Amino acid sequence: MAPDPSDEIAYDRRRLRQWARGRARSAGLERRDLLKLFAAVSAAGPLGLTATEAAARESTDAASPGIVKPLPPEVFTVRGTNAETNFASLRGTGLLTPTDHFFVRNHTATPRIDAADWRLKVWGGGLTGGPVEFGYDELRALPSVSRTLFVECAGNGRSFYTTQQGQQVTGTAWTLGAVGVARWRGVRLADVLHRAGIGRHAVDVLPRGLDDEVVSNGVNLGRVRRPLPVTKALDDVLLAYEMNGEPLPPDHGHPVRVIAPGWVGISSVKWVGDIEVSDEPLYTPWNTDMYRLFGAAYPPGGSAPLTRQTLKSAFELASGATLPAHRRTVLTGRSWSGGAPVRRVDVSTDAGSTWRRARLHDAPRRGSWVRWSTPWVPHERGPAVLLARATDATGRVQPPTAVHNTQGYLFDAVVRHPVTVV
Ligand code: MTE
């Protein structure tokens, strides 16, 4: 019996088996190179840097991250080619992350693309006819949709595997600010694919960015690209051209990017220039050796490629902030999930001995976050540990520890937030 195509996990496991047996086509990379990378990452190897190595590199790269927008230090922490939003700077900013506060995750550097010259080419064996091109104005003339959705890096929270759980991981040492929520306006990818003549035999949809090719360990991985199962591509994915009511800015994908609701950020390809619609399974480095889970808790070949984001909470407060004793402080924060909406948040101000329910300021909504608050009058001076723990609509609760994987993806544990009462 054919597997249910709407089941992402079954889809991805099947694709992994197909690739391993040589039955999935590697899109734009030699099988030899893929195997080399695959082996390197399975061994927690050189594709990534340890968090300590990454931190060392981050401090030297901070001057030229390849990002266009200003990165004031009170708003961003620059990490290599990326900029993390400082959560404290979101306090009082509203539900949407202001565009000038939105984190940036670039594999290379932000390209400057003129919308007037931009074309989107849709091509491949999964179409019933030949390639079809769309210009920017043609895309904007299609029926539009607007949605409030987060984009979050799969490695958001990665540094806590090391600082909180004492485990080694590779990759950018994010704290919790590799996430942002924006109002995205664009067209449904499904509408574009239908106009381009997607056939019933289409299997995978592969958007590719126009930024520079990515070179890792001497292997040119080509341009950033990650296949979407056709079921996801035809379901809720957007081709967005506006962010928070303005044309997409350069760092966030101008003129057009993919937004894949709830899925790991790599699925939301920026600066999209072409989309291959394939009639056979596709694999790229972004769903073979990267963005999978490797480690003791996972099969030797790694988990299925990552799809949905996990459950997280963050205080809108600097780590190590000082708070006045005997005075009322309103603790605020945000919680979000790529699965069911967050319906409850509990806060502890005594490292987990007691908990109280925080007040939610937003209706729980899929693909977005909820803001929350709770008052606190600290009486004891000295160090204290704050915790925030979200529960989603299915009853899933953030656990005390996250299951380790070598690349530090999908950290979902409650984060210990140190403060000092003075
Ligand atoms: N698309 C392209 N073309 N190049 C990239 O480097 N980074 C991905 C994704 N899309 C990336 C990309 C990753 S890993 C993430 S988390 C999101 O973009 C980040 O989106 P943002 O920079 O708008 O916050």
Q: What is the Cα Rg of the chain in Å?
A: 21
Q: Is residue 347 included in any domain, yes or no?
A: yes
Distance 20 CA to ligand 1 centre (A): 27
Ligand 1 pocket, mutate which of 78, 82, 106, 248 (most atoms under 8 A from CB): 106
Mutate to test the pocket of ligand 1, among 270, 274, 310 (most ligand atoms within 8 A of CB): 270
Q: Quote the ligand 1 centre to 152 CA distance (angstroms).
A: 9
Average pLDDT value over all residues in the chain: 89
Does residue 322 sit within a domain? yes
User: Residue 152 domain-assigned?
Assistant: no
Q: Does ligand 1 lie within 6 Å of residue 106's CB atom?
A: yes
Shortest-distance Cα residue to atom 10 of ligand 1: 269
Q: Is 230 exposed, middle or buried (0-12, 13-18, 19+ CB in 10 A)?
A: buried
Residue 346 located in a structural domain: yes
Task: Tell me which residue range forms the domain holding 340.
Answer: 311-421
Q: What whole-number distance in Å separates Cα of residue 173 and Cα of residue 137?
A: 39
- Asked if residue 405 belongs to a domain, the reply is yes
Give the torsion sign (CA, 86, 80, 243, 398): negative
Reported residue count of the chain is: 422
Longest dimension (CA), the chain: 71
186 C-alpha to ligand 1 centroid (Å)? 17
Ligand 1 contact, 169 CB (< 6 A): no
Question: How far away, in angstroms, is 350 Cα from ligand 1 center?
Answer: 37
Asked if the peptide bond before residue 364 counts as cis, ω within 30 degrees of 0, the response is: no
Q: What is the pLDDT of residue 315?
A: 98
Q: From the CB of 291, is ligand 1 less than 6 Å away?
A: no
At 74 the pLDDT is 97
Task: Determine whether the shortest distance from the Cβ of 225 to ligand 1 is under 6 A.
Answer: no
* Interval between CA 48 and ligand 1 midpoint (Å): 17
Structure tokens at 330: 């309103």
What is the C-alpha to C-alpha distance for residues 302 and 47, in angstroms, rounded to an integer?
15
Query: Pick from 337, 332, 336: which is nearest to 347 by CA?
Result: 332
pLDDT at residue 287, as a whole number? 80
Q: Is residue 392 part of a domain?
A: yes
Q: What is the pLDDT of residue 46?
A: 29
* pLDDT given at position 21: 56
What's the predicted TM-score (pTM) here? 0.90
Comparing CA positions, the residue from 84, 90, 91 lying closest to residue 178 is 84
Cα(342)–Cα(311) distance, integer angstroms: 8
Residue whose Cα lies nearest atom 23 of ligand 1: it is 252
Closest by CA position to 61, among listed 210, 173, 155, 153: 173
At residue 45, the pLDDT reads: 33
Whether the CB of 265 sits within 6 Å of ligand 1: yes
CATH number for position 326: 2.60.40.650
Token representation of residue 144: 């539009």
Q: What does the pLDDT read at residue 284?
A: 85
417 part of a folded domain: yes
**Which residue type, as a one-letter code, is found at position 291?**
Y
Q: How far is the CA of 404 from the centre of ligand 1 (A)?
A: 24
Distance CA 173, CA 164 (A): 13
- Residue 266 Cβ contacting ligand 1 at under 6 Å: yes
DSSP collapsed to 3 states, the chain: CCCCCCCHHHHHHHHHHHHHCCCCEECCCCHHHHHHHHHHHHCCCCCCCEHHHHHHHHHHHCCCCCCCCCCCCCCEEEECCEEEECHHHHCCCCCCCCHHHCCECCCCCCCCCCCCCCEEEEECCCECCCCEEEEHHHHHCCCCEEEEEEEECCCCCCHHHHHCCCCCCECCCCCCCCEEEEEEEEEEHHHHHHHHCECCCCCEEEEEECCCCEEECCEEEECCECCEEHHHHCCCCEEEEEECCEECCHHHCCCCEEECCCECHHHCCCCEEEEEEECCCEECHHHCCCCCCCCCCCCCCCCCCCCECCCEEEECCCCCEEECCCCCEEEEEEEECCCCCEEEEEEECCCCCCCEECEECCCCCCCCEEEEEEEECCCCCEEEEEEEEEEECCCCECCCCCCCCCCCCCCCCCCCEEEEEC
249: left (phi over 0), alpha (psi -120 to 50) or beta: beta
Q: From the CA of 258, give the closest atom in ligand 1.
A: 10
Residue 40 in domain: no
Which segments in the chain show pLDDT lower than 50?
A: 1-9, 41-53, 56-57, 59-61
Q: Give burial (CB, 10 Å; 0-12/13-18/19+) of 364.
A: middle
pLDDT, residue 37, reads 57
* Number of the ligand 1 atom closest to the C-alpha atom of 154: 16
Total count of domains within the chain: 1
CA 420–ligand 1 middle distance (angstroms): 35
Best probe residue, ligand 1, of 69, 96, 224, 267 (max atoms within 8 Å of C-beta): 224
Find out whether the beta carbon of 153 lies less than 6 Å from any atom of ligand 1. yes
Ligand 1 mean position to 155 CA, how many Å? 12
Q: Is 209's C-beta closer than 6 angstroms to any atom of ligand 1? A: yes
Q: Which residue has its alpha carbon closest to ligand 1 atom 14?
A: 266
Q: Give which of 187, 189, 269, 285 is closest to 231, Cα–Cα.
A: 189
